Amino acid sequence: MSHPGSSKMTSVPAVQRVMGASVRIADRAAEIIRGILRAGDLGIVQKTGINDLQTEADRSAQRCIVANLARQFPRLTIIGEEEPDDRPVPDDWIVESGADPRAETLQCPEGLTGITEDQIVVWVDPLDGTKEFTQGLLDHVTVLIGIAAGGEPAAGVINQPYFNYQHPSEPQGRTIFGLRGGGVAGFEPRAPPADSRIVTTTRSHSTGLVQSALQALQPDQVLAVGGAGHKVMLLLEGRAHAYVFASPGCKKWDTCAPEAILTALGGRLTDIHGVQLRYEADVQHMNATGVLATAPGVEHDWYVQRIPADVRDGLKPKSG
């Protein structure tokens, strides 16, 4: 079906079109996730161990996201967390083509306008926080669609399928998104408190190095919660100053969308050494040197400098 404005759409930059479509696609993936949990059969599979799970919701949400993106944007490179599965998806998993109207409120910055569809790499985490999902900690779950170009995150979409699930009278679920240099939408950014230091970290993947790094930062409070998307949301809404994970385990699909939205507001996300992560199609998927993110207005270097030498040595980049 053609709709008003569809001829105008061709002049909208590719990054913005992919982001706008991803808002709508992430909403459909979130419905699929909620439907599977409601039906009650999660079909849990262990990938590398008991803290690396996959459910039917992870599998189906990825199929939905990849099928829709590939149909609307055949020249994209799409990299998803779960195994590729090219079986056709049910008709009702296919969403209307084009951008969600909410995404048209953002202005694409000049630096991103020249990027063509074939230069974009989309990093898909169909369900971030799987361990917590299986344990009923539903507010830790996000759907992450990160849009990278030239090795850097350009735009991101984070859907929280269970936002407000403990407050049934409030609107359920939400989608937030942002364009680097073009702003964010879907939530109210807030600064963290000025008189304390709150650090968020893993709940289900802790190690000795993770704990050493936290201790060295002498936080007033540690929020050990699930999901990379969820933890960056805590930074964006002023609930924590920094997200510190001194361990391998997080992958590029965990960090791409959150990094795009965080940097759109002036926050930062790097490895534990303060080095920028890369998102070209051929990079190593693992963020092998850890993750360190800070809220807008928080001094990132302060955190980098306080990571102890033994932690830095334990997370050395492979190529020296």
| Known binding-site positions for Mg(2+) | 81, 125, 127-128, 254
Task: Name the residue nearer to Mg ion (CB basis): 81 or 100.
Answer: 81
Cβ neighbours of 168 (radius 10 Å) = 7
**Does the protein bind Mg ion through residue 125 (CB under 5 A)?**
yes
Taking contact as CB under 5 A, which single stretch among the options 63-71, 129-137, 257-265, 305-313 is the one that binds Mg ion? 129-137
Task: Name the residue nearer to ligand A2P (CB basis): 12 or 291.
Answer: 291
Please state, in angstroms and rounded to a whole number, the distance separating the CA atoms of residues 63 and 30.
12
What residues from 45 to 104 belong to the interface with Mg ion (CB under 5 A)? 81
Q: Phi-psi category of 227—alpha, beta or left, where left has phi over 0 and alpha has psi -120 to 50?
A: left
The tokens for 238 are 């002023």
Catalytically active residues are 58, 130
Q: Which of the listed partners (Mg ion, ligand A2P, none) does 142 bind, with a CB threshold of 5 to 8 Å by partner kind?
A: none
Least Cβ distance, residue 112 to ligand A2P (angstroms):
27
Please state, in angstroms and rounded to a whole number, the distance separating the CA atoms of residues 264 and 156.
9
Give the annotated binding-site residues. 81, 125, 127-128, 254
The tokens for 2 are 């053609």
**192 Cβ neighbours under 8 A, 6+ residues apart:** 198, 235, 238, 239, 240, 241, 295, 298
Q: Which of 27, 100, 128, 271 binds Mg ion (CB under 5 A)?
A: 128
Task: Name the residue nearer to Mg ion (CB basis): 108 or 127.
Answer: 127
Could you list the residues that contact ligand A2P (CB under 6 A)?
51-52, 81, 125, 128-130, 202-205, 226-228, 245, 249-250, 254
Task: Give phi and psi for 307, each to the nearest 5.
Answer: -70, 120
Taking contact as CB under 5 A, which single stretch among the options 31-39, 116-124, 251-259, 265-273 is the one that binds Mg ion? 251-259
**Does the protein bind Mg ion through residue 139 (CB under 5 A)?**
no
Q: How many CA atoms lie within 13 A of 108 on its CB side?
A: 20
Task: Name the residue nearer to Mg ion (CB basis): 127 or 292.
Answer: 127
**Counting Cβ atoms within 10 Å, is residue 204 exposed (0-12), middle (13-18) or buried (19+)?**
buried
**Does the protein bind Mg ion through residue 132 (CB under 5 A)?**
no
Three-state DSSP class for 154?
strand
Q: Which residues of the shown chain bind Mg ion in the complex (CB under 5 A)?
A: 81, 125, 127-128, 130, 254
